[in-house]
Every structure is written in structure tokens, then in C-alpha cells.
Amino acid sequence: MTAYLVRRGLQTIPLLLLVTFLTFSLLLFLPGDPVTSLLSQGETLDPEIVEAYRKELHLDEPIPVQYGYWLRRAMVGDFGDSTQTRKPVSEELRSRIPATLQIGLAGFVAGLLIGVPAGIAAAVWHNTVIDRVVTMFSVAGVAVPGFWFGIMLILLFSVKLRWLPALGFERITSNPGEALKLMILPVTVIGWELSAVVTRQLRSSMLEVLRQDYIRTARAKGLHERRVVWLHGLRNALLPVVTVLGLLLGRILAGAVVVETIFAIPGVGRLLVGSVRTNDFPVVQAIVLMVALSVVFMNIVTDVVYAALDPRIRYS
């Protein structure tokens, strides 16, 4: 297993290089001048100063050379300074990541708590009213756009009923009560979408597993149905679901864009949207690298969980 993990880690290096190089290159072709944005907010600058700063940042070099300088700094956590706030990009990310993780992980857990029981119930009571209701809600969760669902929640619970605050964020460690109220709506949006995917995947996988010979044998031996479903059935049915969960968890940073924008959450997703609008290239490059790393890491974790769930799977 150790050798496999090392090999997988080495195999991800070319992928990360490709993703970051493409992002780095494409950003250079966008309208706007990052040097002008960094030095001034609309003021007239001396062309000699602009050119000197361009040389200092190696922007007069070929794209591969520029990328090499950026990569060397990025490997030690130096992503440069934001062209908008003049602060180090690493500092900007450190201040935004907690909000994204708090909302994203809470939504992930909520999706599991809803999706797993719903998927099992739909499979166990196949072709019943329960199955049809669960399927209807799961299809709606996949089909309804998250931004529309979020706006509807704000209109209903914040504007009309005035039960919950619509916008803002509070860290759970500083003010738990207020944080929980502010988290309800965005977590509902994330959890709704995730639970729909988990429910559909687990229902399909569970139906296939419950038709296997070893399940019929377990029932013939007189095992309680709950033990058959939760112990013998669920463990094997989870294998396809683990793949989906690994991808979804790795995409928390990327998927936070819509939710954070709608609910005005100061996280990485909202930072990315603002940085793209203002041509803040250093921030965009750093976030893309962070998203790519999270997806790659979760793929490796998924392989490890696979081996833990199914002893037949061995990596060498």
C-alpha cells in the first residue's frame, strides 16, 4: 500500500503541472494589465516605472519562463501579492479557507445524513410509495440549479417569514448560536444537492447488492433483516458511492462559488469570483492550484477507503 501511495503521488505531479500551466497561460491572455492593477487603481503611471516593475516580475519573459518563476515560489507557499488588496495571496487564502471549510463540510455531512438513509430506504422498499417519494426528491435535487434553490430559500425564510438571516457569516468558534443560524440556508443548498446524488447512487448500488446470492444465503440462515441490510448489504453497496463522495468532497472549494456568492459568505469561492472580475491573477492561480491539490488528494483517499471496505482489493 505504501509503495502504491508513493507511486500515485508521483503520478499526480504531471497532472498538477499541466493544470497550473494551462491556467497560468490562459490568464495572461485576458484583457487587462496585472502590473497596472498592482501599482495603481486608475492613476496615470510613468511608463518607465511600469516597465521596470514588469521586468522585476519577469513579465517580459516567455510564458514558460514566467511559469517557472511562479512555480518555484509556489512550492514554498509564496504566491505573490494580490493586485487588489496588496496583501500576500497566502494571507488572503488563510483568512478565507475557514469559511469555505465550515460551510462545505457541514453541507457534506448533512448530505450524508440524509442521502444514506434515503438511498437504503428506497432500495429496501423498492417500488413502494417510499421509493417513489425518495426518487422524486432525489431527481429534483439533481435537476434544480443550486443558485435558484438558494434564492428561493432566501425569499421564503428570510424575506417572507423572516425566520433566518439571509446573508453573512460567523465562525462557529466565536459565536456558535449566530453561526448556526447563518449556516442553515447555505448548508441546506449544499446538503440538498449532495444528498440527491448520494441517494440515487446508493439506491442503485443497494438494489444490485440485495439481489446477490450471499444476501439470499444470509436471509435463508435466519439473520435479522436489519443485520442483512446494514452489515452485509451496505458495506458492499458503498463502494460505488465512495467514488462519488471522494470527487464531491474534493470539489468543495470549487463548488463553493455559487453558494458563497448567493449568501455573501467571505470564503474562497467568493474570493475567486471577485479575483476573476478584477484580473487578480495571483489569487486565481493560487486558488486553481489549491482546488487541483484537493481533488487529487481526495482521489488517493478514495483508493485507501476502497481497500478498507473491500478486503479483495489490494494495491501493489
Q: Between 68 and 84, name the one with better pLDDT.
A: 68
Lowest mean pLDDT among 35-39, 115-119, 268-272: 35-39
pTM of the model: 0.82
Q: What is the pLDDT of residues 88-140, one digit of tens each?
A: 999 999 999 999 999 989 998 999 999 999 999 999 899 999 999 999 999 99
Q: Between 303 and 109, name the one with better pLDDT.
A: 109
Residue 297 has pLDDT above 60, yes or no: yes
> Which of the four CATH numbers 1.10.10.10, 3.20.20.20, 1.10.3720.10, 3.30.2310.20 does domain 96-309 have?
1.10.3720.10
Position 132 scores a pLDDT of: 94
Is the sign of the CA dihedral 295, 301, 307, 309 positive or negative? Answer: negative
Yes or no: say if 198 and 112 are a contact pair by the CB < 8 Å rule. yes
